[in-house]
């Protein structure tokens, strides 16, 4: 009489493996999301600095002493199309929405401000925890308020970041 060998995993063994995978996922996913938010914030800071450089170039060339709005920077090819079109929640750049506004004055008295805010401000899909801004002074500023600053003075009121 021959006996058949029963091979395979028991239900308990499979449940233990699934539980271990679940625990590892519960630990890893929040860290992954935090890393993504940090990368988005780094990209936003870099983009704000790019806008500042583009404004300086625009003022010295096409602007004839005045700064330009976001659309003027894009139409003069001083910022790329991805950054140029990141002005609405439907087309953010790395999870951030950007706005650049030219102020008054010309030459040494010319002003502008630019800022960015996260496109998604809460929940698991939150794209950032800070907003950033810069003015003609060139100091990168940021804080944890997630609403858009109303004007250049509101940008100047934000604390300076490590420049």
3-state secondary structure of 137: coil
Q: Long-range contacts: 128-131, Cβ < 8 Å, 24+?
A: 128/37, 128/40, 128/41, 128/44, 128/95, 128/96, 129/37, 129/41, 130/41, 131/158
**Per-residue pLDDT tens digits for 130-163:** 999 999 999 999 999 999 999 999 999 999 997 6
Strand ranges of the sheet holding 131-135, from the earlier edge strand across to the other edge: 96-102, 112-118, 131-135, 141-143
Both tokens of 120, joined, read: 């998604």
| Rounded distance between C-alpha atoms, residue 158 and residue 153, angstroms | 9
Phi, psi angles (nearest 5°) of residue 85: -100, 5
Per-residue pLDDT band for 106 (boundaries 50, 70, 90) equals confident
**Per-residue pLDDT tens digits for 37-75:** 999 999 999 999 999 999 999 999 998 999 999 999 999
| Rounded distance between C-alpha atoms, residue 91 and residue 35, angstroms | 21
Q: Among 46, 144, 62, 137, which Cα is nearest to 98's? A: 46
Contact 58, 90 (CB under 8 A): no
| Rounded distance between C-alpha atoms, residue 77 and residue 134, angstroms | 20
Per-residue pLDDT band for 105 (boundaries 50, 70, 90) equals confident
Q: Among 51, 56, 150, which Cα is nearest to 110's? A: 56
Q: To the nearest whole percent, how much of the chain has pLDDT over 90?
A: 74
CA 140 to chain centre: 14
pLDDT at 3 over 80: no
pLDDT at 83 over 90: yes
Per-residue pLDDT band for 103 (boundaries 50, 70, 90) equals confident
Rg for the chain (alpha carbons), in Å? 24
Q: Is the pTM of this model over 0.75?
A: yes
Per-residue pLDDT band for 1 (boundaries 50, 70, 90) equals low
């Amino acid at each position: 009489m021959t006996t058949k060998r029963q091979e395979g995993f028991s239900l308990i063994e499979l449940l233990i493996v699934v539980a271990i995978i679940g625990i590892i996922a519960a630990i890893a996913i929040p860290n992954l999301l935090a890393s993504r938010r940090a990368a988005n914030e780094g990209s936003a800071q870099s983009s704000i600095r790019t806008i500042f450089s583009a404004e300086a170039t625009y003022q010295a060339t096409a602007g004839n002493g005045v700064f330009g709005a976001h659309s003027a920077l894009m139409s003069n090819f001083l910022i790329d199309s991805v950054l140029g079109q990141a002005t609405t929640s439907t087309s953010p750049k790395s999870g951030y929405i950007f706005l650049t506004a030219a102020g008054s004055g010309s030459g040494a008295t010319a002003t502008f401000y630019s800022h960015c805010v996260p496109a998604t401000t809460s929940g698991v899909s939150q794209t950032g925890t800070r907003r950033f801004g810069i003015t003609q002074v060139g100091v990168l500023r940021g804080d944890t308020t997630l609403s858009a600053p109303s004007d250049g003075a509101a940008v100047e009121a934000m604390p300076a970041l490590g420049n």
